[in-house]
Amino acid sequence: MNTPKSDVCFDFLSTRKRTEHLCLPLELEDFIPQPIPDVSPPKWHLGHTTWFFEQFVLLNFESNYTPFDPNFLFFFNSYYQNAGERVARNLRGTLSRPTVKEVLNYRQYVTSAVEKLLINQQSEDILELVTLGIHHEMQHQELLMYDIKYIFGMQPAQPIYGNSFELTQELQAGWKDVEGGIYEIGAQNEGFSYDNEKGHHQVLLNDYSISQALVSNREYLDFINSGGYTDFNLWHDEGWATLQNQGWKAPLYWQQRAGNWGYFTLSGFKEIDLHLPVQHVSYFEASAFAAWKNCRLPTEAEWEVASPLFSWGQLWEWTGSAYLPYPGFFKALGALGEYNGKFMVNQHVLRGASVATPPGHARKTYRNFFAPQSRWQFSGIRLVK
Ligand SMILES: [Fe+2]
């Protein structure tokens, strides 16, 4: 990777600071709840992103390192079987201890230790792991915003976070044609990428046209009003079952008040802005909408090849592609091999980035993934025909 040491140290310190900055609008009580298993408490994100550096960098490379508190290695491990036991995911919100103050002290302790390590040692292994830790923390910064929005949006008081991360109207419109042929996708050796993006390879595409704009709230409201949520012909079987079990009638956060649709945003409950892209849709909803339009979702290869033709970065875009290993995918041995590879089943790929993606974290080869029923992430729809 050959990243200069000083850049890694700078990126490390600014990333650590940004996570704490995102929490500034929170009151102490906001750090604790876990309303559903998918949504982790902000306190847990603060601890877990710190644990990653302690577990994988300091305990491996700092010979005299003493953990801040050995129990924290158990509290803040997420899913790494190779790194030992952990608090069950669905119980993260039951912990009133360690306190937020202790977790912030933990952050300070580990940040200083990593900074000291970076000043004293220059090995490529350390730089690579710290860089992975930085990108891991950036990923959690985005999850933190999904989770704060859910924690705020699902309680009667619907508190206001602030007017950050607002969407804007898509400026482009119409369709762009892409000629069929052999194209190349996947990350090459320029800059950082996760293991799941590596394995640059050829793909064969047929002719297709891709929409330059994300689907708007106006178009999605037309879908709702024309019976999109009551016509099983548009839905996957599992999607239809989910709709019925969950009582879905609209995207997450939409509510009808006095006959009018509104939605919860980070800056409070608002009337639907028909010009903005629709967000908080599941893969099932994105697919049903596409079927209603006699279109489909792009495959991830179609998305990546066409990505220079449109601007992206407002919402993660569902693709029709299952999350599978690329040809030549290499899963590292040990705990870090658990980062991506073991999730390559029952998930769909999303491409692009969202307004909550930290600066410097987006790239056109990035393969995000979620289960098809998930919709608390900042996800939208782009169509292909
Ligand atoms: Fe994580």
Strands 316-322 and 379-380, sheet pairing: parallel
Q: How far is the CA of 136 from the centre of ligand 1 (A)?
A: 6
Q: How far is the CA of 229 from the centre of ligand 1 (A)?
A: 34
Q: How far is the CA of 137 from the centre of ligand 1 (A)?
A: 7
Q: How far is the CA of 49 from the centre of ligand 1 (A)?
A: 7
Q: How far is the CA of 356 from the centre of ligand 1 (A)?
A: 16
Q: How far is the CA of 313 from the centre of ligand 1 (A)?
A: 22
Q: How far is the CA of 337 from the centre of ligand 1 (A)?
A: 13
Q: How far is the CA of 134 from the centre of ligand 1 (A)?
A: 11
Residue 379 phi, psi dihedral angles, 5° rounding: -120, 145
Instruction: Look at phi and psi of residue 239 and say left if phi exceeds 0, alpha if psi is from -120 to 50, else beta.
Output: alpha
What are the pLDDT digits (tens) for 203-258?
999 999 999 999 999 999 999 999 999 999 999 999 999 999 999 999 999 999 99
Structure tokens at 366: 């990035």
What are the pLDDT digits (tens) for 154-188?
999 999 999 999 999 999 999 999 999 999 999 99
Taking a 5 Å cut-off on Cβ, the residues next to ion ligand 1 are 78
The helix or strand, by DSSP H or E, that contains position 348, with its residue range, turns out to be: strand 348-352
pLDDT below 50 — which residues of the chain?
A: 1-2
| Neighbour count for residue 4 (Cβ, 10 Å) | 10
Q: How far is the CA of 279 from the centre of ligand 1 (A)?
A: 24
pLDDT attached to residue 6: 72
Q: How far is the CA of 93 from the centre of ligand 1 (A)?
A: 16
Q: How far is the CA of 3 from the centre of ligand 1 (A)?
A: 23
**pTM over the 0.85 mark:** yes
Structure tokens at 189: 């050796």
